[in-house]
Amino acid sequence: MAIDQATYDFYQQRAPYFTASGAQGHSRHLDGFLARLSPGARILELGCGGGHDAAHMRKHGFDVDATDGIPAMVAKANERHDIGARLMRFDRLHAEGEYDAIWAHASLLHCPRSALPAVLARIYRALKPGGLHFASYKLGTGERRDLLGRLHNFPTFDWLCQLYVEAGLALVETEIYAGEASDGTQRNWAALTVERQ
């Protein structure tokens, strides 16, 4: 199972709060990722949240399939940005060779560690050969809950990179950067851009 019930309940109940900021912009790595793609590329977003990133992609002419595993998040994304977001959990991705790119900013970090290899296999299958995938994770030393009760997989950087390589996704660019989580804690993050071989 690629979703933790307590984490699901948290976002389902607090979706209005997490999508409330009208000034909230798109993710810091998004423009650099989009610059690697051909105009009009087909992009799957896993964990679209409030829809800011999907709206930015669409504004720049990309064909976006925005998804989230939380019904309340899907509703808010469509209410705020009218992006046609749909409900889909990570472990329900069944596409094969359909997408030029898959964007997963701060979403796969909630996938239980035991389920992550199977989810990466689904991402591999959903990408076209040469397709790109971006994901960002909070780094740590093992799976546990944050101060808000949400499950995080908290990988080490080396473990995470190895997992992607084993899934057939070659590392294109990586970055470790400092950031503040929504529970108020300071933590290093990892951003990975990978390519289906």
Question: What's the mean pLDDT in 154-160?
Answer: 98
Residue 46 token pair: 């896993």
> Rounded CA gap, 128 and 4, in Å?
29
Nearest to 94 by CA among 114, 124, 74: 124
Question: Residues 6 or more apart from 57 whose CB is under 8 A from it?
Answer: 30, 34, 43, 45, 64, 103
The CATH class of the 5-12+29-196 domain is: alpha beta
Domain ranges of the chain: 5-12+29-196
- Dump pLDDT digits (tens) for 125-141: 999 999 999 999 999 99
- Dump pLDDT digits (tens) for 6-16: 999 999 999 88
Distance of CA 46 to the CA centre of its chain: 5
